[in-house]
Amino acid sequence: MPSSRPLRADARRNREALLAAAREAFLADDEAHVEEIARRAGVAVGTLYRHFETREALVAEVYRQEVAELCTAPARLLADQSPDEALHTFLLLLVEHAAVGRGMGQALESIMATDSPVFGDAREQMARALDELLAAGVAAGLVRGDVSGLVVLRALGGVCGMRAKGWEDDAARIVAVLYDGLRYGAGRLGQGPSGGPRES
């Protein structure tokens, strides 16, 4: 009997190709159909449905993957940049993440209307990643210590709702203003019990 290992490897590659193609398609067109996504991935539509029962399931997995990858960034950024620079870079990555979310707008709204844990989990992961960066900045005396990751995330929330053409430029300006505010009073404003940002 032939080994099933090559088939499993093929299936894994197909799944990864579908997720990559879906992300690319959603960035280009938030109404991208499953047929277009399958074409981009080089597989049949039936293969797509073997991995993801519905288009919404595919959207949710793309979004979950985006968040997971995004939230691995703090450790890497802190290894290569000063804490304040790492925070700034991560804020810009959040804007890039918002662009992907906008590309999946209608499907994300559908998922939000259900009990899907995707959004609650994503919010918690991103808030924790911001807390890590803020705590490093506070410890270095470069970032104010009275703001939590969740508050910063809420401050950026409006970026996700912008619809005007060229919104990415406006988002970058918003990030610059927020970043300046996070550095204002560094070393003087309150800290949390372990030197990290105090909950607001």
Return the sign of the alpha-carbon dihedral for residues 57, 21, 99, 137: positive
Q: Looking at domain 56-200, does it have CATH number 3.20.20.70?
A: no
CA distance 50 to 106: 23
Q: Give dist(CA 144, CA 67) in Å, integer.
A: 26
The residue type of 23 is R
**Residue ranges per structural domain of the chain:** 1-53, 56-200
Q: Identify residue 140 by its one-letter amino acid code.
A: A
Residue pLDDT, tens place only, 148-167 = 999 998 888 777 666 677 78
Predicted pLDDT at 66: 86
Using alpha carbons only, give the angle 187, 192, 195 rounded to the nearest 5 degrees: 60
Q: 2-51: per-residue pLDDT in tens?
A: 444 445 788 899 999 999 999 888 877 767 889 999 999 999 999 999 99
Inter-residue contact 24 to 17 (CB < 8 Å): no
Q: At what angle do helices 83-103 and 167-183 cross, to 10 degrees?
A: 150
Phi, psi of 83, rounded to the nearest 5 degrees = -55, -40
What is the pTM (predicted TM-score) of this model? 0.77
Looking at the domain covering 1-53, what would its CATH class be?
A: mainly alpha
- 20: exposed, middle or buried (C-beta count within 10 Å: 0-12, 13-18, 19+)? middle
Q: Give the whole-angstrom CA distance, residue 17 versus residue 37.
A: 9
Equal CATH topology for 1-53 and 56-200: no
